[in-house]
């Protein structure tokens, strides 16, 4: 068990996605995302893996 209810909810959301068979990227809110969307939000060029 973590220290905050928000962390517990986030972990539960990730575990639910994984239990359902999803193996792709997950964003900070515990929702499924694409590799390109995740990279864009974090300022990374998805083709090179380096910072923009």
* pLDDT, tens digit, 9 for 90 and up, residues 1-52: 557 888 888 888 889 999 999 998 888 878 899 999 999 999 999 999 999 9
Report pTM. 0.60
Where are the alpha helices (H) located in the chain, listed in sequence order? Answer: 5-19, 35-41
36 phi and psi, to 5 degrees?
Answer: -65, -40
CA distance 14 to 45: 25
């Amino acid at each position: 068990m973590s220290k905050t209810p928000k962390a517990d909810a986030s972990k539960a959301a990730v575990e639910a996605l994984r239990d359902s068979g999803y193996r792709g990227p997950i964003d900070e809110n515990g929702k499924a995302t694409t590799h390109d969307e995740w990279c864009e939000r974090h300022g990374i060029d998805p083709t090179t893996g380096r910072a923009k």
